[in-house]
Amino acid sequence: MKSPPFEYHRAGSATEAAALLGELGFDARILAGGQSLIPLMNLRLAAPGFLVDITHAPDLAGIGANGAGLHVGAAARQRTVELHAETLAAAPVLADAISNAGQVPVRHQGTVVGSIAHADPSAEMPAAFKAQGGTVTAQGAGGTREISSEDFFEGYFTTALEEGELVTGVTVDAWPSGTGHGFLEFSVTKESWPIALAAVMVHVDAGTIDRASVVLGGVAEVPLRRPEAEAILVGSAPGAEVFAGAAEAAAAGIEPLSDSFGSGAYRKKLARVLTRRALTTAAERAGGAT
Amino acid sequence: MTVPEVRQHPEHLEWVGKSIPRVEDPKFLRGRGNYIDDYEVPNMLEVAVARSTMAHAKILSIDTSAAEAVPGVVAIVTSENVTDHVNPMPDFGPSPDKHTWYCLAVDKVRYMGEGVAVVAATSRAIAEDAAELIEVEYEPLEPLTDMLAALTDDAPLIHEALESNVPFHRKFAFGDVDGDFAAADVIVRDTLWWGRSGGQPLETVGAVADYDSATGMMTIHVNSMSFTHFLFLLANTLRVPSNKLDLQPHPSGGSFGAKFFEVKTATIAAMMARVTGRPVKFMQDRLDNIANGDHHGSDRYYEVELAAKSDGTLLSTRYKVVDNYGAYIQFGVGQHGNSLAQAVGPYRMSSIGYDLTAVLTNKCQQGAYRGFGSEVGNWILERMVDLMAAELDMDPFEIRRMNFIQPDQFPYFIPTGNVYDSGDYEAVLKKTMELSDYKGWRKRQAEMRAEGRHIGIGVCTCQERSVFSATEFWFWFDEPVAAPVTSAPESVTLKVDAMGAVTATLYSNASWGNSPETMVAQFAAEELGVKPEDVSVVYAGSNQGMPATGPGGSRFTIMVGGAVEGAAQSIRAKAAKIAAHLLEANEDDLVWEDGGFAVRGSPDQRKELAEIALAAHMFKHSLPEEIETGLEASHVQDHPYTTMPNPERTNLGVFYPFVGHASHVVVVEVDPETGRVEFLDYTAVHDCGTVVNPRSVGGQVIGGTVQGLGSTLFEEFLYDEDGVLRTPSFAEYLIPSALDSPTLRVGHNETPSPYTPYGVKGGGEAGRMMAPSAICAAIDDALGIRIRRLPATPERIVEMVDAKD
């Protein structure tokens, strides 16, 4: 379990990182916390010729919230974001997602943006990001652009990033007061990979759900939005029957793959159970906030 | 050998029984353990093994040209020329010439992960780079992983020379099985599967080999291998004279059986050392260890029948067992000897039927894993007793209690011929019920169930056999393949230097994560009146070594205890002569107390061990003529209680005589929608005779229980029907962490063995032998299901719940 040879480059800023990516070409990869990439290299499942380390770029380390949402820089460590005073208020589902990811020592190394950019469809942070909604800031030789969380994830470990672009940060959009969130995952052991997860948000106004977001992880090639479930929720009063119906709708039509942790059918069942439970929690929290 | 003498154990013990801190801890906790991967020698190369990507395939050609061109690569040996360098591996299997095993695959690969080439290079990374470039052309053969399919006529053959996939089949009857079944009122039957898991030490197996072409000496530093008295087998594999092989033991970060007689790693390192003329390190990585470590655990299918009277009296058990050994069968069917050693559990049953079929398939082969197969036997028996309890509508505690062998029945011979030396099972059960608050939990369970929660309580009462005899290697056969060996020794040397300081030299493995040095220090302190922390413990290489078997089958503490006792007796005998001379007293008038000899009735007239030692070392010519300089003694402890099997093999003799006992009570809450099992409470009470160190035995119980939990709920080396290993790393092969584990209440009961020093019985495999039975019973109780297959993964639990609805 030793990595193939590679060349290490350290970028001092986002601009320098983008320039390095352009110069080194397709065989270069961004190194942030390294909690996914390095094991893949050691298992020889990834063999980039060049690594561009962005964790020493001061302009990528920031975390900050305003009324519109929470901004997380590409070098910000998961544990720093998790414990940041503004994260819980502005991006509660992301905070929950981080707490469920890996163990504390792993989160001290790993970055939130790195996990999102890695785009593992089973991972916590991509699903939470998509559930709450927001934008990805990408920077390449030609400048920066914004990509919506809806458009960012394209397939297994595949995103809308172009060659030569890196993610410099993400912004998670704030939801208004009266919002509740739920994040639940199932893993066979407490520390192993989640095999299904549900990240949900509901906003309740005068006893009626007027906005809902339901995203599943681990069941498809991307963190999967479930519009059919959202349609059942919006316009309904929160309640067990509505949540069961929405959960049923969320799991209907998905065709998760089987692996050593469980079959597709089991994952589908988990998706339904976790969605129902996450919605129940979310509605309770939404009620508490109003 | 006949029955050994019953011992009178001393009433007062100074050190045995005390929870002294482990004497190993300071070096390990400070990173000074001298683990094999920290061991470096100048000019050393490292190797990587290119492993088969196919489960079953003929090797057509191997192209190493690209690999050889990688800068830093020194030598490559492949399947095509490995037989030029080494002989087959040591093999205790039924017919080694028909399922021949080399350190690399020869002619064909028989499981995914089997080595096809080995690269020696200036670093491990370079060796891996080169290994990746080796091109192997395969002709795929039909893969075979299903053990029942392996028995069919049209199954592909794993070893053509064997002409079937069954290296061993035999039907044993111990006692009047048919008569007991005919006399039964109730017979319960079931089909059960035990999945393949394995020990997962933090540190994998490693070896550093150095061949001196001038002297012909092959020196191998290793963290694996018991059985140093069997090393001549490895010498044969390596084609070196047995007196030119020296193994230097290094401590390892755990074994749990998985380093028991792991000789392949050392063989590969030694082969490459001779090929390159340079020292060579082979340190398995986790992928090597999981796919190609030769120590997967039992993988069994059972059809079982249990016969009883209508009042719950158990009569007999009939087993039909198929065991999937994988591609080779290095230890034969020894794992079943472990089951047969305690086949009736703690219960009075007068007969056992055992129909055993070993099959070969395209999986990595089995080795040892904590319990060595007896944990499976325990689980099967306890599953059947639970089934009988349900059939007769009896309390699971009550059916066990009423069938217990009673304290006045020991030594108790079970139908297979093995003896249980001593026990008090009811005392253990009573303690367990109290410590677990069993009655309180039953009450709380009813309340919690009323709230809609799925709470289950499970109980088990299981045996832990200890100290195997070598007869277990061959009593399977009418004519043993190799010699009918009977030796399974353990040795120690004690030296008291001129300053009176004590050094103990051990001759088998260095620490395996157990506490061999603590045990020896406590015994030596007890015997010689010194403090345990003042005893220096060292390990000798095999070439200067004495016969030793090492840890395995929960034997080490008992055997080394006997070795220390014997060596200390010799030292005291010599010391008495010297003391008598120094005190001008008659030797018969001396008494040994508090670490010195005193004249009986005149306690002021005494010589401390240190004074005697100084005289022994420095003043030869002041002492009687016959006393040689020095104060040192060695002792070889042979197996204390072995008897021979009968020719018909209807009685296997005594082969695992010191039998501990334990009872566990588990309380779980299960989520029927996800299959998640949460532990609400866990109590384990063990009786391993006299406890040498309650703290270290407690650690064994906790660790073993957590491993049992893993084997029960999720650990499995999973091969699909194409022979693809789906769990190649810890990302997929799941092991429990502290977060998945209950906090254990551990209790000890002490029923000393009449036959061992101080009355100690083995406790090293405790926990794993019991946990699966108790946990399954608890889950069954929570959900109203019956677990028949391990691991009982969350998905399988959900399937059982759904099937019930």
Reduced to 3 states (helix: H, G, I; strand: E, B; else coil), residue B40 is coil
Residue B2 in this model has a pLDDT that exceeds 80 = no
- What pLDDT does residue B805 have? 77
Which residue of chain B comes nearest to A47, CA vs CA? B129
Question: Are A188 and B124 a contacting pair at CB < 8 A?
Answer: no
Q: Assign A290 a pLDDT band (cuts: 50, 70, 90).
A: very low
Residue A288 in this model has a pLDDT that exceeds 70 = no
Nearest CA of chain A to the CA of B361: how many Å? 20
* Rounded percentage of chain A residues whose pLDDT exceeds 70: 99
Calpha distance B629→B615 (Å, rounded): 9
DSSP one-letter code for B738: G
Report yes or no: B672 at the A interface, CB cutoff 8 Å. no
Element (H, E) at B665: strand B658-670
Report yes or no: A105 at the B interface, CB cutoff 8 Å. no
Question: Are B737 and A266 a contacting pair at CB < 8 A?
Answer: no
Question: Are A188 and B673 a contacting pair at CB < 8 A?
Answer: no
**Reduced 3-state DSSP string for B304-360:** EEEEECCCCCEEEEEEEEEEECCCCCCCCCHHHHHHHCCCCCCECCCEEEEEEEEEC
Calpha distance A227→A215 (Å, rounded): 9
Of A80-89, A275-284, B45-54, B111-120, give the lowest mean pLDDT range. A80-89
Q: What mean pLDDT comes out for the span B326-347?
A: 97
Task: For residue range A22-75, list pLDDT tens digits in order.
Answer: 999 999 999 999 999 999 999 999 999 999 999 999 999 999 998 899 999 999
Sequence-ordered alpha helix ranges (H) in B193-319: 231-238, 264-276, 286-292
DSSP one-letter code for A256: P
Strands B135-140, B57-63: pairing is antiparallel
Task: For residue range A193-220, list pLDDT tens digits in order.
Answer: 999 999 999 999 999 999 999 999 999 9
Reduced to 3 states (helix: H, G, I; strand: E, B; else coil), residue B219 is strand
Report yes or no: A99 at the B interface, CB cutoff 8 Å. no
Nearest CA of chain A to the CA of B127: how many Å? 9
- What pLDDT does residue A289 have? 40
Tokens of B339: 């089951």
Q: What mean pLDDT comes out for the span B190-199?
A: 98
From residue A84, alpha-carbon distances to A4, A72, A96, A98, B391 in Å are: 37, 11, 13, 12, 59
Taking alpha carbons only, the member of B297, B221, B225 closest to residue B259 is B225
Nearest CA of chain A to the CA of B41: how many Å? 21
Q: Assign B515 a pLDDT band (cuts: 50, 70, 90).
A: very high
Task: Identify which of A3, A188, A269 has the shortest CB distance to residue B734.
Answer: A188
Contact in structure between B724 and B112 (CB atoms under 8 Å): yes
Contact in structure between B423 and B751 (CB atoms under 8 Å): yes
Which residue of chain A comes nearest to B738, CA vs CA? A190
DSSP one-letter code for B90: P
Q: Which residues of B522-542 are buried (b: 16+ CB within 10 A; e: fewer)?
A: bbbbbbbbbebeebbbebbbb
Which residue of chain B comes nearest to A260, CA vs CA? B726
Tokens of B230: 């069997």
Q: What mean pLDDT comes out for the span B308-313?
A: 98
In chain A, the domains with their CATH numbers are 7-53 (3.30.43.10), 59-172 (3.30.465.10), 179-289 (3.30.390.50)
Task: Identify which of B286, B727, B739 has the shortest CB distance to residue A191.
Answer: B739
Nearest CA of chain A to the CA of B796: how many Å? 9
Which residue of chain B comes nearest to A193, CA vs CA? B731
Sequence-ordered alpha helix ranges (H) in A5-122: 14-24, 37-42, 78-83, 85-90, 92-100, 104-109, 112-118
Q: What mean pLDDT comes out for the span B156-169?
A: 98
Task: For residue range B634-690, list pLDDT tens digits in order.
Answer: 999 999 999 999 999 999 999 999 999 999 999 999 999 999 999 999 999 999 999
Question: Are A189 and B734 a contacting pair at CB < 8 A?
Answer: yes
Task: For residue range B345-375, list pLDDT tens digits in order.
Answer: 999 999 999 999 999 999 999 999 999 999 9
B725 contacts in chain A (CB < 8 Å): none
Strand locations in B360-508 (E): 412-413, 419-420, 455-466, 490-496, 502-506
Choose from B47, B714, B734 for mutation: most chain A CBs within 10 A: B734
Phi, psi of A153 (to 5 degrees): -90, 120
Choose from A104, A261, A274 for mutation: most chain B CBs within 10 A: A261
**Contacting residues for B619 by C-beta, under 8 A, at least 6 apart:** none
Calpha distance A170→A128 (Å, rounded): 12
CA-CA-CA-CA dihedral for B228, B233, B236, B242, to nearest 10: 40
Question: Are B128 and A2 a contacting pair at CB < 8 A?
Answer: yes
Task: For residue range B784-802, list pLDDT tens digits in order.
Answer: 999 999 999 999 999 999 9
Calpha distance A167→A154 (Å, rounded): 15
Nearest CA of chain B to the CA of A210: how many Å? 29
- What pLDDT does residue B1 have? 58
Calpha distance A178→A180 (Å, rounded): 7
DSSP one-letter code for A4: P
| Sequence letter at residue B743 | T
Task: For residue range B737-785, list pLDDT tens digits in order.
Answer: 999 999 999 999 999 999 999 999 999 998 999 999 999 999 999 999 9
Calpha distance B479→B347 (Å, rounded): 32
- Classify B17 in phi/psi space as left (phi over 0), alpha (psi -120 to 50) or beta: left
Element (H, E) at A201: strand A196-205
How many Cβ atoms from other residues are within 10 Å of residue A152's Cβ?
24
Q: CA angle, B154 as apex, B152 and B158 as ends, to 5°?
A: 85
Report yes or no: A243 at the B interface, CB cutoff 8 Å. no
Contact in structure between B260 and B552 (CB atoms under 8 Å): yes
The interface pTM score, or ipTM, of the predicted complex is 0.96
- What pLDDT does residue B229 have? 82
Mean pLDDT of chain B: 96
Task: For residue range B221-272, list pLDDT tens digits in order.
Answer: 999 977 788 899 999 999 999 999 999 999 998 999 999 889 999 999 999 9
Q: What mean pLDDT comes out for the span B476-490?
A: 88
Choose from A188, A276, A280 for mutation: most chain B CBs within 10 A: A188
Task: Identify which of B718, B731, B798 has the shortest CB distance to residue A269.
Answer: B798
A259 contacts in chain B (CB < 8 Å): 726, 732
Phi, psi of B296 (to 5 degrees): -70, 155
Q: CA angle, A222 as apex, A220 and A224 as ends, to 5°?
A: 75
Residue B576 in this model has a pLDDT that exceeds 90 = yes
Reduced to 3 states (helix: H, G, I; strand: E, B; else coil), residue B692 is coil
Residue A239 in this model has a pLDDT that exceeds 90 = yes
Residue with tokens 């399937």: B799
Which residue of chain B comes nearest to A102, CA vs CA? B731
Residue B481 in this model has a pLDDT that exceeds 80 = no
Q: Which of residues 194-223 of A touch B (CB under 8 A)?
A: none
Which residue of chain A comes nearest to B797, CA vs CA? A266
In chain B, the domains with their CATH numbers are 25-33+489-637 (3.30.365.10), 36-141+206-251+261-292 (3.90.1170.50), 300-471+645-804 (3.30.365.10)
Question: Are A259 and B124 a contacting pair at CB < 8 A?
Answer: no
Q: What mean pLDDT comes out for the span A155-162?
A: 97
Calpha distance B292→B115 (Å, rounded): 8
Q: Assign B276 a pLDDT band (cuts: 50, 70, 90).
A: very high
Report yes or no: A263 at the B interface, CB cutoff 8 Å. yes
Residue B464 in this model has a pLDDT that exceeds 50 = yes
Question: Are B732 and A5 a contacting pair at CB < 8 A?
Answer: no
Task: For residue range B549-559, list pLDDT tens digits in order.
Answer: 999 999 999 99
DSSP one-letter code for B487: -
- Positive or negative torsion for Cα A149, A152, A154, A156: negative
Tokens of B792: 């009982």
A2 contacts in chain B (CB < 8 Å): 123-125, 128
